[in-house]
Amino acid sequence: MNNIDKKVIYTLDELELIYSDSILLNHAIFDRMLEEEFNEDTRYDIIRQITNLEFDTSVENFNSSLIKATKTKHGAYLSKRNLSSLKKMKTFKVKNIDAGFALCNKNGYPPFSEIVAVHNASNYPNIGTSLMHAAVYFRGRYLECFGEPLAKGLYMGVGFHIYKEFPHMTMKNGNIESLYFMKWRNSYVPEI
């Protein structure tokens, strides 16, 4: 077997470095995940649901999913929301797994244009890009987030830019991170 015939397997981190365009990255990650030991039918169905904008919009189901997400290793990055505040939002939960996002009102901005509570507490990693494309489709245009990897990785990769930064903020878990305020670049159009 020569070098041309060898199949190269990249890690998900390596794929992120290779592909800067979020659409190509999403497809590359999807292809890589299919090679891993996951149920391909389930993974395909999850991506299909998100891409086809098929969400469970029950506030109660979203709340349950969000509570599970706050208990994961990335839970410190999520703002806790109570059921009464979620009832004032539009919630979007991926069917049959604990992942989703919500849209809420932000003073001085169009209704339901702030993206909040983007989470994934399922066993299916790396669906954030698809979730963010769906959030933008539903008119999400603003967000706040802690941490440079999220701001400069996922969110900038799907068309947001930083318009305000507060460095060295203390998160609820005691970590020191920058807080980023981000808004949608109107010139960027995602493929859904």
Q: pLDDT for 32-68, tens place per residue?
A: 444 444 566 777 789 889 999 999 999 999 999 999 9
What global pTM score does this model have?
0.74
Indicate the CATH number of 12-184 among 3.40.50.620, 3.50.50.60, 3.40.630.30, 3.40.190.290. Answer: 3.40.630.30
Report the distance separating Cα 33 and Cα 48, nearest Å: 14
| Chain centroid offset of residue 146 CA | 13
Question: 149 pairs with which residues across the strands?
Answer: none
Instruction: For the chain, list residues with pLDDT below 50.
Output: 1-8, 10, 15-16, 18-25, 28, 32-37, 190-192
Torsion of CA 64, 134, 95, 128, to 10 degrees: -70
pLDDT of residue 1: 41
pLDDT of residue 94: 96
Question: 184 pairs with which residues across the strands?
Answer: 160
Max Cα separation, the chain?
A: 63
Residue 146: CB atoms within 10 A of its CB come to 23
pLDDT of residue 187: 58
Report the distance separating Cα 74 and Cα 17, nearest Å: 22
What kind and span of H or E run contains 177? Answer: strand 176-184
